[in-house]
Amino acid sequence: MKIGSTFTALMLVSVVLLSSDYAQAKVKFTLGTTNSEKEFSTQAMHKWADGMRQRTDGELDMNIVSGGALGGDKQLLQQLGTNEIQAHVAGPVVVHHLVKDYQCMEAEFVYKDGDHGLRVWRGPLGAEVSDILQKKHNIRIVGVGHRGARNLTSKVPIRQPDDLKGIKVRITNKLRQQVFEAFGANPVPMSFKELYGALQTGTVDAQENPLGTIYGTNFYEVQDYVNMTGHVWSYFVVTANNNFYKSLSPEHRKIFDEEAKKAIDWMTGEVSKSFADLREKLKAKGMKVIEPDVAAFKKIATPIVEQFAKEKCRPGLLADIAKQAN
């Protein structure tokens, strides 16, 4: 991470005492994200910041640094744990980088639909993850909202797993690497920050992300097809540095939580409403929408996920996920 960026983020954390003993302290802090300003997650974070400023007359002042300007998600989580930044929003990178026993909470075909996964993330399993993050990494989950299903984009149509043979696909974790190898692809680990350029130069041929990310990051400029595999339901996870959170006054903490919930609920609603609209927007940008044989992908992926969970994840995790299906 650049020293200048770290210094800037640190300088934004300041507490300026107001004029009397009972007055609230002014708190300036930073939220970092790799997501673009076009994404609902970033728009929601601005709503959160605006709500806090309005209700506290500017005493809670959150600065949002988007587009990966402070680093990729792995670097941002490191900065979050050490209080260089105080908040973060991304997909469920916390379970892939920090709490790997729970990484099957973002795995292929473990949820029957988007609401199933949201119940899991907002229920006891999500609370377990937050508890572990607090104890081991000084990070807490503030809230979780819809992100959408991950779908595959490519330069050729993908209708069956066999169509992926030899295709270089950017992947984000070791489980996904195993799954896409079984599909016949050549998985390439790569940070999100590098992805657009890699697609542009042909370093990778394909990638997978929710429709909002595909549209918000302009992947339609470097990909021709969006293949509706829906292989992973994904969620935006909003996190905060735990020491920073606990340092807030009770009144500020209450407003912090309430405005976060409002913003995340707005985001979840907008993401849910946007699915059909985003398909049309991508088509209008020139992408062709392919309806693949999802059952064929699921048949290959499911035993791999089950074996991975047995070897790498918290005992009973998939069973506990399944319990929230209805």
pLDDT digits (tens, 9 = 90+) for 128-178: 999 999 999 999 999 999 999 999 999 999 999 999 999 999 998 999 999
Q: Is the pLDDT of residue 30 over 60?
A: yes
Question: What sign results for the dihedral spanned by CA atoms 250, 256, 257, 258?
Answer: positive
The DSSP line for 175-238 is HHHHHHHHHT-EEEE--HHHHHHHHHHTS-SBEEEEHHHHHHTTGGGT--EEEEEEEEEEEEEE
Contact of 210 with 147, CB cutoff 8 Å: yes
User: Contact 98/120 with Cβ under 8 angstroms?
Assistant: no
Task: Tell me what pLDDT residue 23 has.
Answer: 52
pLDDT at 94: 93
pLDDT band, residue 17 (cuts 50/70/90): very low
Consecutive H or E run containing 137? helix 124-137
pLDDT at 198: 97
pLDDT the model gives residue 16: 40
- Between the two ends of the chain, the Cα-to-Cα distance in Å is 44
pLDDT in tens, 255-276: 999 999 999 999 999 998 888 8
pTM of the predicted structure, to 2 decimals:
0.86
Average pLDDT estimate for 283-287? 97
- Can you tell me the distance from the alpha carbon of 92 to that of 77, in angstroms, rounded to the nearest whole number? 11
pLDDT the model gives residue 15: 41
Q: In the chain, pLDDT over 70 holds for what percent of residues?
A: 93
Q: Look at residue 74 and tell me whether its pLDDT is greater than 80.
A: yes
Token pair listed for 165: 């043979």
Q: How confident is the model over 184-196, as pLDDT tens digits?
A: 999 999 988 899 9
In DSSP terms, 145 is beta-bridged to 236
Tell me the pLDDT band of 2, cut-offs 50, 70 and 90.
very low
pLDDT of residue 24: 61
Average confidence (pLDDT) over 39-45: 95
What is the rounded distance in angstroms from the CA atom of residue 191 to the CA atom of residue 169?
Answer: 12
Q: In this model, does residue 114 exceed pLDDT 80?
A: yes
Residue 5 has a CB neighbour count (10 Å cut-off) of 18
Residue 83: pLDDT above 60?
yes
Average pLDDT rounded to a whole number, residues 289-303: 98
pLDDT confidence of 21, banded at 50, 70, 90?
Answer: very low
**pLDDT, position 22:** 39
Write out pLDDT tens, residues 194-227: 999 999 999 999 999 999 999 989 999 999 999 9
* Backbone φ and ψ of 16, nearest 5°: -115, 115
Flag whether pLDDT at 14 surpasses 90. Answer: no
Q: Which two three-digit tokens encode residue 32?
A: 């970092």
Cβ atoms 196, 219 nearer than 8 A? yes
Map out the domains of the chain with their CATH numbers. 3-323 (3.40.190.170)
* Residues 6+ positions from 24 with CB-CB distance below 8 Å: 18, 56, 59, 249, 251, 252
Angle separating helix axes 250-284 and 40-56, nearest 10 degrees: 150
More confident residue, 94 or 17: 94
- Residues 263-291: b if buried by 16+ CB within 10 A, e if exposed: bbebbbebbeebeeebbeebeeeebeebe
CA–CA separation, 322 vs 301, rounded Å?
Answer: 16
pLDDT of residue 148: 93
Average pLDDT over residues 46-53: 98
Q: Is there a contact between 312 and 250 (Cβ–Cβ < 8 Å)? A: no
71-95 average pLDDT score: 96
Residue in the block written with tokens 């919930």: 261
Report pLDDT for 4: 52
Q: How many angstroms separate the CA atoms of 110 and 180, rounded?
A: 16
